[in-house]
Amino acid sequence: MQAVSRPACLPLTASATAAPSLQPSPWRLSVAPMLDWTDRHCRVFHRLLTRHTRLYTEMVTTGALIHGDRHRHLDFSAVEHPVALQLGGSEPADLATCARLALDWGYDEVNLNCGCPSERVQKGAFGACLMAEPATVAAGVRAMVDAVAGCIPVTVKHRIGIDREESYAFVRDFVGTIAEAGCQVFIVHARNAWLQGLSPKENRDIPPLRYEFVYQLKRDFPALTIVLNGGVKADDEIDAHLQQVDGVMVGRQAYHEPWQMAAWDARFFGEPGPAASRDAAEAAWVDHLQALHEGGTPWLTAMRHALGLWNGVPGARAWRRFWSDHRLRDSAPAAAHAHWLAQAAARRPADAGYDAHRPGPVAPG
């Protein structure tokens, strides 16, 4: 998808005086931005499982957009809507330029990363270290809000604290400062970010979760949209959090157990999801891979995003081995899929309940 022309739009705050909507919040459920994972092909796969869950790009730095290949970073398929662009940066002028690009390209939201703790990101003066500089974040948000002129929301994703600063007052004051700059949606990872001594992976596990901090933000800022992120796995957990906040963002659980998303539209949005079965989702995904192949784009790397589709079903390991085989890289996905189904049918005993589309128990030869 390339840049699109948009009609003039009303400021988002214009709806504040309208009658309350019975529709779920646009941020009721979302999949987190994850570096090297939530690329455009991953998002297409996720959209085969859920129509309404909000999707996010990987974090893209302002420098990459201003000086790099914009089409490579920004192009996406129309089926991905609603989809948000996450930015990494701190200079107001650069953030404004990139927010305008998000608008021109047709994204539904532009999000500022104030939560990534990696040392590489810190050296770029963005991510979680920005929580120590709320005035800087506020200036960037204000510039982004002005740049998009109310046409799409400007949101911030952040932690509840940095390093050993564990007081609720820290995150409360941060949110208050940024809200005054025009941000109305905050996605809150309910852990501190330790900027020294922990890897990004350890930062997802070691600092304790403090969901109560996120709940309290909603109580203290009832007019803001507060979305909880961090450690959420089961759908019952999502339900419980939604009693306290406006939305829940799920990260690695959604990526590793993607079939879980197939129930989300019905459960959380009151509408049936797009995938009637794993078989149907697999077939639709193979169609996407086939289109890539016919367009000259290597497809095997994209296939990695779907490798968890059959988790928990007998034969899933063999299915994963088949679709991870580097010898398939020059094959047409449709032909590979047909080969897998024929092989699975031949290797499994026939019975009345046999479904040739299910994974077989033996790895392909």
**pLDDT score, position 24:** 85
**Which residues are designated catalytic?**
116
**pLDDT score, position 354:** 39
Tens of pLDDT, residue by residue over 204-218, are 778 899 999 999 999
Determine the average pLDDT of the residues in 106-110: 98
**pLDDT score, position 201:** 75
Q: With contact defined as beta carbons under 8 Å apart, do 212 and 150 qualify?
A: no
Comparing CA positions, the residue from 155, 272, 160, 144 lying closest to residue 211 is: 160
% of the chain at pLDDT higher than 70: 87
Tens of pLDDT, residue by residue over 290-302, are 999 999 999 999 9
What is this structure's pTM? 0.90
Least confident stretch, 5-9, 54-58, 89-93, 140-144 = 5-9
Tens of pLDDT, residue by residue over 249-301, are 999 999 999 999 999 999 999 999 999 999 999 999 999 999 999 999 999 99
| Cα dihedral 31, 115, 242, 14 sign | negative
Binned at pLDDT 50, 70 and 90, residue 3 comes out as low
